Amino acid sequence: MCGIVSDDQMVLLYGTAVLNNGITVLFARKNQKFKLLPQPYAALLYDKSSLFAGKLHALLCRNWRHREKGRDFYDYLWYLSEGIPVNIWHLEARMRQSGHWTETGPLQIRTVQELLLRRFENLDFQQVKRDVVPFIAHPASLDIWSREFFSAITLEKLKG
């Protein structure tokens, strides 16, 4: 799927694009899976790097007016713990589509880290923990959640 916003700007959520210099960019990978039960069907599935890009878009761009989604932060930690690199092209396409990335240059992983660090600065981590605690088997595992913790692991683990 591809939507052309203007002659020099494209919005892609998945698929590929050929840039002016001839480089082909893969924005998101999808696999088609076929199943037989409960009845035959096909499903298109994003790969983990593209799903991680979607989760980062939610963390950076979701507007809940002071009501954070704890599951977004829990999922973010899961992607980092699994060592899954973010599909930076897919994240950029999503951010451009939602109006959260308007720079002319490409989005870089260092910029994503900086955006996350700013996001963590004024975050109410107590509220984030309250939102996710009903779904956590060992609530004490959330005690470490803080600006310092999320900032440190972002700088150490987030890769593009």
Segment 67-116, tens digit of pLDDT? 789 999 999 999 999 999 999 999 999 999 999 999 999 999 999 999 99
pLDDT at res. 32:
79
Given a cut of 70, whether residue 125 has pLDDT beyond it is: yes
- The three-state secondary structure class of 101 is coil
Which DSSP category does 141 fall into? G
Q: What does the pLDDT read at residue 65?
A: 67
- What is residue 134's predicted lDDT score, i.e. its pLDDT? 96
Lowest mean pLDDT among 44-48, 56-60, 120-124: 44-48
The predicted structure's pLDDT at residue 67 = 79
State the pLDDT at residue 29.
Answer: 66
Q: What is the pLDDT of residues 16-49, one digit of tens each?
A: 555 555 544 555 666 778 888 899 988 878 899 9
What mean pLDDT is predicted for residues 3-15?
Answer: 39
Measured between alpha carbons, how far is residue 88 from residues 13, 37, 116, 135, 138 in Å? 12, 35, 14, 29, 33
Contact indicator for 55, 75 with CB cutoff of 8 Å: yes
Pairing of strands 15-18, 9-12: unpaired
Is pLDDT above 50 for 9?
no
Please report, for residues 8, 17, 156, the alpha-carbon distance to residue 55 in angstroms, rounded to integers and kept in the order given: 27, 22, 18
**Cα–Cα distance for residue pair 151/76, rounded to 1 Å:** 12
pLDDT at position 37 is: 87
Which residues face 41 on adjacent strands? 35
φ, ψ for residue 38, nearest 5 deg: -75, -20
Distances, alpha carbon 116 to alpha carbons 19, 109, 142, 150, 152, in Å: 28, 11, 19, 9, 11
pLDDT value at position 8? 40
